[in-house]
Amino acid sequence: MHWYEKLNQYFPIEEMKSKEHMETLLDEQSEIYYKDEGAHHVLMYVELDHFVFIDYLFVSKDARGMGLGKKLLAKMKDKGKPIILEVEPVNYDDTDTEKRLRFYKREGFKHAQSIGYRRRSLATKEINAMEILYWAPHNESEDTIFEAMKTTYELVHTYKDKQFYGESYQKVNEVLTFDEKESGKNVLDRL
């Protein structure tokens, strides 16, 4: 099965980029947008000088529990940069969402308490809230993670969006918010 089909079957439509969008990123943004693919996984990620953003991480059901996800994250951690990703909030009707959050917590990821992410899907026209998780090898602040998310949104998520979807996504300041009060607190991780 083609890597895009694997992702498209696993991720909800409101989270998926079009195949054309992703192939264009791999072609035209090849210095920052990467694909790591194997028989049982697909990992799409952005790497810049100061951070890594995991766009999609898929491990096939028959390979889960075998440490493949842990190995893929270890390759990203070996880069020594903060790692950021978006996950859907826990939906108790979908046990995968809860398992996914537990997995990332075991891998040392924290919930970005001060960063809000709400984007209107161009596919469904509905507003989707996402959780921002991050791994900070040098105790990078949530301010740093927020700036990296803004960069990712502008360089990758909205790259040629009008060309691919017939309309543009919202501006970054409408999608990503930063709560100064939360950034200064030493709050417990919600995971």
How does pLDDT run across 95-120, given as a tens digit for each residue?
Answer: 676 888 899 999 999 999 999 999 99
Phi and psi angles of residue 144, each rounded to the nearest 5 degrees, phi first: -65, -40
Residue 184 has pLDDT above 70, yes or no: no
CA distance 179 to 182: 5
* SS3 of residue 22 by DSSP: helix
For residue 190, being part of any structural domain is answered with no
- The per-residue pLDDT for 88 is 85
Q: Mark out the alpha helices in 29-141 (DSSP H runs).
A: 68-77, 95-106
Mean pLDDT of 75-87: 97
Residue 4 CB coordination number (10 Å):
19
Percentage, residues of the chain above pLDDT 90: 79
- What count of other Cβ atoms lies within 10 Å of the Cβ of residue 172? 16
What CATH number corresponds to the domain at position 67? Answer: 3.40.630.30
Residue 34 CA: distances (Å) to CA of 15, 22, 49, 99, 108: 18, 10, 14, 25, 23
Cβ atoms of 42 and 6 closer than 8 Å: yes
Residue 118 structural domain: 3-183
Q: What is the pLDDT of residue 190?
A: 40
Per-residue pLDDT at 186: 42
In a domain, 160, yes or no: yes
- Collect all residues with Cβ–Cβ distance below 8 Å to 34 and sequence separation of at least 6: 26, 44, 45, 46, 47
What's the pLDDT band for 183 if we cut at 50, 70, 90? low
Q: Which whole number is the average pLDDT over 72-89?
A: 95
Answer yes or no: is 133 within a domain.
yes
* Residue % of the chain over a pLDDT of 70: 91
pLDDT in tens, 132-170: 999 999 999 999 999 999 999 999 999 999 999 999 999
Relative to beta strand 52-59, strand 83-87 is: parallel
Residue 72, domain member (yes or no)? yes
pLDDT of residue 89: 81
Average pLDDT over all residues of the chain: 91
Whether 188 is in a domain gets the answer: no
Q: How many domains are there within the chain?
A: 1
Q: Is 189 among the domain residues? A: no
